[in-house]
Amino acid sequence: MASPSIGFLEISIAFVCFLVFHILLNKKPHACFPRNWPFLGMLPGVLVVFHRVYDWAADVLEISDLTFTFKGPWFAGIDMLVTVDPSNIHHIMSSHFSNYPKGPEFKEVFDVLGDGILNVDSDLWENLRKSTQSIFNHEGFKKFSFLANVKKLKTGLLPFLDQAAKENMVVDVQDVLERYIFDTTCITIAGYDPGCLSIELPEVEFYNALNDAVECIVYRHVKPRFLWKIQNWLGVGAEGKMRRAHATFDRICAKYASTKREEIRSGIHSNGEVMDLLAFYMNSDESKYKLFDPYDNKFQRDTLLTFMVAGMGVGSTLTRLFWLLSKNPESLAKIRQEIQSKLPRMANRDDDGEISFDPKDLKKLVYLHGAICETLRLYPPVPFERKSPTKEDVLPSGHKVGANEKILIIIYAMGRMKAVWGEDASDFKPERWISESGGLKHEPSYKFLSFNAGPRACLGREMAFTQLKTVFVEIIRNYDINVVEGQEVKSVVSVILRIQNGLRVTVSKRSPSV
């Protein structure tokens, strides 16, 4: 009878031989491609590069003809098809839209958003989209949003930059811009200014909870469901932060909702056409809201939180724009020249909701628009999109996808694909968005996916561009933003593409005549 030690040795040798044969018979097509290990799948290789997973995905997709299949650990349920093929994206987002809803698993992963418009499907989604679109197109709401943006510029952002310039401060411009966007979004949606942006840069519980939540969500895509569920139940690790964020959102949003209902009861908004989003909902004809109650605490919480997360992308884009222009001074010079020639300063503007130019003239800034589009192409605020078919399907690339199979669209990687954007795909070139006649050049949404595509295309696209241009023009006219040399600029692995550790800059006041 063989001894237990000899039996263990034989098993060990057999397992090592199995691994050796597996490695020899399953050669990687490229050094950056993950090895598909027995039991563990490709997950070990991904975890090694997870700190730069979006750039790694771009490398893999470039050598995989824009689509590859990721195999996770056996029985873990995280296998997925990863693609940036525009024909696949058009198929998923537009031509076969009905077969690719968000689905219950998406809603579970993004549970923090509740029943917000980004999280739901079918009749509820259609009802929410129609009602939100109606409000976004209302002149009163557009005016309220613009004035909220301008007022915070004049009372918050510009005074902060004045102080920074006066005291020769080194500031994290990402933190400053995100705080500005946080305040203006909260005002636009709920009519409440949390005062996140001030010279003291105070700790704001809601703001911190948002950052924790969006970072936690991305880890749920590479963890087996049972594991992150257990961690959430125990309140440990990233899931512990998520649980605390949930509690913060529930408590603060309930306070906002209660205040808004009291305002409506008091008649504060009854005669006004210029109102925040929640006030518009609560003042509208209730008969058209078939599947949700605009007075309900949960509806107001989910709506506020959904648009707060969506708004985070504007701060991310502004930060990247300043960073990219610091590396491309010739583009910055062209923008300054364009602003000076096409956006003359207007005299006698007062301090109550006015700016130094006519906002209608922002459409004349073609080169600036191209620079913003380039920033969004290379650094999309939401770096990936997740879909699942309800029925088995075959994508235009020839890949078969089963019902409920996960599909990941890496928007960050798509902006770097030479097969999609040409050999200069990684270069910052605002000119690629300008036609030969000097106008804006259109790119299809399934190629430029920063605002989504098809029936779920972003409702706030024009509002976002207006805010981005307004803020950028006012800053660039009044200040030089100088990026501190020597800092390492890396992306946080998150649902919102932010710069890890922020972007340190110094601020210099410019002459009013420039």
Mean residue pLDDT across the chain = 87
Residue 281 has pLDDT above 70, yes or no: yes
Count of domains observed in the chain: 1
The answer on pLDDT for 169 being more than 80 is yes
* Whole-number pLDDT of residue 372: 97
Between the two ends of the chain, the Cα-to-Cα distance in Å is 93
Task: For residue 370, give the nearest of 499, 468, 511, 263 by alpha carbon.
Answer: 468
Q: Which two tokens stand for residue 350?
A: 């007062």
What is the dihedral sign for C-alpha 111, 114, 117, 120?
positive
Residue 8 lies in a domain: no
Is there a domain that residue 74 lies in?
Answer: yes
Q: What is the mean pLDDT of residues 38-52?
A: 86
> CA angle, 315 as apex, 274 and 496 as ends, to 5°?
115
Pick from 32-46, 130-144, 357-371, 446-460: least confident: 32-46
**What are the φ and ψ backbone dihedral angles of 179, each rounded to 5 degrees?**
-65, -40
With respect to residue 156, please indicate whether it lies within any of the assigned structural domains. yes
Name the pLDDT band for 25 (thresholds 50, 70, 90).
very low
Is 4 a member of any domain? no
Bigger pLDDT: 284 or 212?
212
Each residue's pLDDT tens digit, 193-229: 888 998 888 888 988 999 899 889 988 888 888 898 9
10: confidence class by pLDDT, cuts 50, 70, 90: low
- Average pLDDT in the 310-315 region? 89
Compute the average pLDDT of residues 159-182.
94
Q: Can you say how many angstroms the Cα of residue 53 is from the centroid of all Cα atoms in its chain? A: 16
- In a domain, residue 514? The reply is no
pLDDT the model gives residue 221:
83
Greater confidence, 7 or 418? 418
512 phi/psi in degrees, rounded to 5 = -60, -25
Q: 19 in a domain, yes or no?
A: no
User: Per the structure block, which two tokens stand in for 92?
Assistant: 């998923």
- Whether the pLDDT of residue 27 is over 60: the answer is no
Q: What is the CATH number of the domain that holds 185?
A: 1.10.630.10
Which pair of structure tokens corresponds to residue 301?
A: 């919480």
- Banded model confidence at residue 182, pLDDT cuts 50, 70, 90: very high
Whole domain around residue 255: which residue ranges?
27-509
Q: How confident is the model at residue 23 (pLDDT cuts 50, 70, 90)?
A: very low
Torsion over CA: 326, 330, 335, 337 (sign): positive
The answer to whether residue 18 is domain-embedded is: no
The answer to the question of residue 9 being in a domain is: no
Q: How confident is the model at residue 22 (pLDDT cuts 50, 70, 90)?
A: very low
